[in-house]
Structure 1
């Protein structure tokens, strides 16, 4: 089993970060998004990131030129059907993801491994409509934002996943300087299950939008709790809409257990369009 090439589906924040990281491991990577403009903007953004890292002495000019040549935009019609690994990083929606994987199952070579970067949807639910052979080559690979920097990756075995694939990826990621957490196929896996209370209790403390209280909670958790970012800063970075979607998914999967219940404040932020850094405004302003 070898990983020689990667197709990343979804060119949003996570998709482009995952693509960047795989390229930096010496692999050829194709980036595909339903919106071609998003794909090309993502590649420009990644190239700009490499140029900044070169200026800081993190990479040589030769390395950056190699990286750029190994990252390309692709389409459903043109992507390499013999690609070694596909990583899906699109909207956190079971039906949409399932339709994408059914399409990939039909198009990709029989040896291609399919994976999802889902942060909350059970892997077996995503695999249930795939062919029997493909189910064995399907797993969860959950990266964290920003993917090129964050060391942790959750490797999730679905009901049908061949155990040898889990063992392979555990070793492969360790060889490429990632910290690996092998997870059971349960809602939210490890990190996002635990994190629901990190966000949820913080919102219950502030109760409603109060900039002073929000700043106070973030400051206390950083200065006293040792967290690098407070819960409100982190939600702004991730995207409050994405965070809210994950919260709903975990809550629903646990039969509306109050521990995981979404908070009205989060819904109000999403409804108002103030969803974080990507729109220059969330719990904080980023003008």
Structure 2
């Protein structure tokens, strides 16, 4: 999610896939200081920022220098907000803090070079499984033996992403699902496949704790923990609306005032992006492990209509509400 949601509901992840530019990711291992983050978008830049803030040397990777500069600018702006809170009356200290953290972040357009000395490599590119598989094929050939390879996917099977890798690489391949905005959101889902060994999971948990986050370990199952619980809630809310049980505004009010939720389901849907929700739900209904054909993830006429008309929520100015 974005910054405004920090005090609200836990975020659903990324938008529907665009096969072009990298998104973000990070790499590091308990005994290794160096982290490689593949993807310089908001997620990747956020992961890189947090790792660098906690004294890791980080290489941020994207397809162009322009994309990398955007990622660096995002980090600088985010770090500036952190610095103002840490040193509210000292502009010089604020500047030193930002410069010190950024000094630990190198920029590169070569994933192989970045991974070559990394103890942990985290991919955080767009939700396109072929793109992710291709990236990891290159990373596996370049990264040191024993390095952890991790995907920041929110909706794709970790085992599927790693299926082309060797058995040895699969033992050190996991999911590290950060939440957006990374600097503020405390949770990281540590996703283990059947092939991952316990040491890899332990090393990942130690890294997560070391950067000030809270790990939640889970199996490689659709949606992991947060999204697996959140999406059925969202979809049932939409179906209540479709059946005419109540208006979107009344359903939101009921969940905020009756269940104590900081954000109602339709406010949350609009904030996440209706295209993102549709992309994940359609994928689960079509081929999600244990979910294919499940009625709770069947297409919604209302959701399909909104997405078709380009009403995707806050980012387009209109979804279930107008903004």
Please indicate the TM-score interval, normalised by the length of the shorter structure. 0.7 to 0.9
Q: Following TM superposition, by how much is the alpha carbon of 1:124 offset from its aligned partner in structure 2, in angstroms?
A: 1.4
Show the counterpart of 1:142.
177
1:170 corresponds in structure 2 to 205
User: Partner of 2:247: helix, strand, or coil?
Assistant: helix
Q: Deviations over 1:23-44 (max 9, x none)?
A: 2222122222335433322221
Aligned residue in 1 for 2:188: 153
Conserved? CA contact 2:64–2:109, under 8 Å: no
**Distance of aligned partners of 1:280 and 1:101 in 2 relative to their CA distance in 1, 3 Å threshold:** farther
TM-score, with length taken from structure 2: 0.78
RMSD: 2.6
Q: Distance in 2 between matches of 1:80 and 1:260?
A: 38
- Distance 1:229-1:70 versus aligned 2 partners, 3 A rule: farther
Please tell me whether the aligned partners of residues 306 and 312 of structure 2 are also in contact (alpha carbons under 8 angstroms): yes
Report the 3-state secondary structure (helix = DSSP H, G, I; strand = E; otherwise coil) of the residue aligned with 1:56.
helix
**Cα separation, partners in 2 of 1:84 and 1:274, compared to 1, 3 Å:** farther
Describe how 1:208-223 pairs up with structure 2 within 5 A: 213-223=247-257
Alignment size in residue pairs? 284
CA 1:71/1:217 → structure 2, altered by over 3 Å: closer, same or farther? farther
Q: How many angstroms does 1:140 deviate by?
A: 0.7
Seen in structure 2, the aligned counterparts of structure 1 residues 18 and 261 have a Cα distance that, compared at 3 Å, is farther
Aligned residue in 2 for 1:241: 275
Matched, 1:72 2:106: yes
Q: Which blocks of at least 5 consecutive residues in structure 2 are unaligned? A: 1-29
Query: Residues 71 and 233 from structure 1, CA distance in 2 versus in 1: closer, same or farther, beyond 3 angstroms?
Result: farther
Task: Say whether residues 1:206 and 2:204 are aligned partners.
Answer: no
1:218 offset after TM fit, Å?
2.6
CA shift digits 1:193-221 (9 cap, x unpaired): 1111121012112229xxx9333333332
SS at match of 1:155: strand
Secondary structure of 1:215's aligned partner: helix
Given the two structures, how large is their TM-score scaled by the length of structure 1?
A: 0.87
- Give the aligned partner of residue 309 of structure 2: 272
Alignment pair present for 1:46 and 2:75? yes
Aligned match of 1:84: 119
In 1: Cα distance, 2:266 partner to 2:49 partner: 26
> Do 2:37 and 2:60's aligned partners in 1 also have CA atoms closer than 8 Å?
yes
1:8 aligns with 2:37: yes
Tell me which of the two structures has the higher relative contact order, counting C-alpha pairs closer than 8 angstroms and 6 or more residues apart: 2
